[in-house]
A and B are shown apart, each in its own frame.
Chain A
């Protein structure tokens, strides 16, 4: 009846079953919306509520107080002015960008390697696949402390290995030195991020229709060609989703950085997420923190909208 199709993007009208007729049209609209409602309500609604509240709070003069006091405090753009004119805000954004890019690309690469490997037959594959997911399951608290111990300058096993392997005799203060701190906080984040990419890409690899490879072979495609023209395009949606959501997750990451450096030294690791927390609970300036949050939200939203609108054929178009 039908030939297997590689893309299934059918822009257009809902296919009504021939046996239903006109009556179907009214219900056909209701059904998809109904299907969407719970996800939208919970997935977007909750965050939406939070945003509204945060916006309301950010437009106030008073820094911290009970909710009533804050909402009754005079409205003012003071917080936004402070945020935008503070050079620390822009430094934080820049650090966030570096941190996010580093902790997204690297685990993506490692995860892709793992996924390609684990897609092959090998003894104990099930065990290896399960083991590869372990970093994910470890609670953040434990992982942070474990890495802080491992990377402790004087007593940590990382520096010990460097000493023993003859690479370096200095007790590198990974978290304490301005130059190494950002890299130091990226390491546990990358470590914990690999399983996510592994899972996404492995699931994606498994979804590739074997017949596509056969068809490509029939057309005379060699190994690299198959990889380039079948594997990568089929993986594209998964690559896109994992990169975008991985980046979002990294952007919000807080626990590792706060526990190990608190945003220091001298702000070298103060990403926006850490800065927001410090404003709210260290300086007791909750409305300022809310303003920074909203401001960041607007900035990132603009970036995302631009990304979506650029309408590149392929991964993006087919996905949204």
Chain B
């Protein structure tokens, strides 16, 4: 039997597929390469802008392939002239804070939504969906007032809470979907053995929901890392600047150093790429290995 693309698409990535039908040209791979190149072209362009003199990029015939004039001055300039490490550090604090806090509260809420008939759960679900309608720019003032009232203005905690508020609805519903996919029999079996609800959550459900959690952490980390609105509204002191704020400040009052701006943008991807890289293996669920047996 010859292999078709459809076949390779629908059969999950298990050893079975590999063993039985091995395509001569890995078609998905080829397509993936092409699509990746297209998708990453803007990033490539950012890289060129950072490395080449502006003249070479901003012209009627820009050099698509850098020919000789590359220089890393912009990157070096950034590291030397700007407090970029401080910015990165501040962003890391907020990102970790947001990821951990939102993962924790979502885990609890998702489990409750999945396993129990919680009073007002439909209302809650609707509330989660609907709370994401208002544009951020309109929320800036009320959030400022809210945090001013509770005395958290100009603190990282305020930015963390704001980010968590924005991300929680989505992550909770994702996790709930995941939990729904885990048979209740596991819960029951564990409880019959004398496990408490809390124990069931941590010992049995949690390990099985890792792919869902990974998606959630990816979402909340990205939201916190790239957030500009909340940090700009709530953080008033230069020392607290996050990376996006720092990058924006390169758009100076007078002129813009385009090389530096693009270099800064590219540097800011690196920590996130590291996180994504380490999250990758955990995206594979234990469930496909058929670990859910009685």
Contact = CB atoms under 8 A, between A and B. Distances in A.
Residue among B6, B115, B128, B132 having the largest count of chain A Cβ atoms under 10 Å: B132
Contact of B262 (A122, A146, A230, A290): A146
Interface centre among A114, A135, A146, by most chain B C-beta atoms within 10 angstroms, is: A146
A206 interface: yes
B234 interface: no
A43 B264 contact: no
B43 interface: yes
Given A43-B168, A50-B134, A36 B42 contact: no
A137 B129 contact: no
Contacts of B132: 245, 248-249, 252
B257 interface: no
Contacts of B177: 237-238, 241, 319
A245 B170 contact: yes
Chain A, interface residues (CB within 8 Å), range: 35 or more
A79 B122 CA distance: 32
A9 B180 CA distance: 7
B244 A141 contact: yes
B136 A254 contact: yes
Q: Which of A13, A49, A117 has the most CB of B within 10 A?
A: A117
A314 to B, nearest CB: 13
Contacts of B181: 8, 207, 209, 234
A199 B138 contact: no
Nearest to B22: A121
A239 to B, nearest CB: 10
Q: Specify the main secondary structure of chain B where it touches its partner.
A: helix
A319 B137 CA distance: 30
A47 B131 contact: yes
B161 interface: yes
Interface string A240-252: 0100110011011
Contacts of A13: 117
B233 to A, nearest CB: 12
Contacts of B247: 139, 141-142
Nearest to A116: B9
A84 interface: no
Interface string B180-197: 111111011101101001
B65 interface: no
Contacts of B261: 142, 145
A152 B124 CA distance: 45
Contact of B109 (A31, A35, A152, A252): A35
B82 interface: no
A191 B39 CA distance: 7
Given A46-B146, A142-B264, A276-B135, A32 B118 contact: yes
A162 interface: no
A199 to B, nearest CB: 5
A170 interface: no
Nearest to A124: B29
Interface residues of B, number: 135
Given A146-B46, A200-B174, A50 B124 contact: no
Interface stretch (A126-134, A178-186, A262-270): A126-134
A115 to B, nearest CB: 10
Contacts of B46: 138, 142, 146
A126 B170 contact: no
Given A32-B116, A241-B174, A318-B180, A136 B106 contact: no
Interface of A: 1-2, 4-5, 7-15, 17-19, 28-29, 31-33, 35-36, 38-40, 42-51, 53-54, 67, 110, 113-114, 116-123, 126, 128-143, 145-147, 149-150, 152, 154-155, 157, 160, 191, 194, 196, 199-200, 202-203, 205-211, 213, 223-224, 226-227, 230-231, 234, 237-238, 241, 244-245, 248-249, 251-252, 254-255, 272-273, 276-277, 280-281, 286, 289-290, 293, 296-297, 300-301, 304-305, 308, 318-320
Interface of B: 4, 6-14, 17-18, 26, 28-29, 31-33, 35-36, 39-40, 42-43, 45-46, 49, 57-62, 64, 104-106, 108-109, 111-119, 121-122, 124-139, 141-143, 145-146, 161-162, 164-165, 168-170, 172-174, 176-178, 180-185, 187-189, 191-192, 194, 197, 211-212, 214-215, 218-219, 222, 225-226, 228, 243-244, 247-248, 251, 261-262, 264-266, 268-269, 272-273, 276-277, 280-281, 283-285, 287-290, 292-294
22 contacts: A8-B183, A31-B197, A38-B105, A47-B131, A50-B134, A53-B145, A53-B146, A122-B29, A123-B29, A129-B283, A135-B42, A139-B268, A140-B244, A142-B265, A206-B288, A213-B11, A254-B135, A254-B137, A255-B228, A277-B138, A289-B138, A300-B133
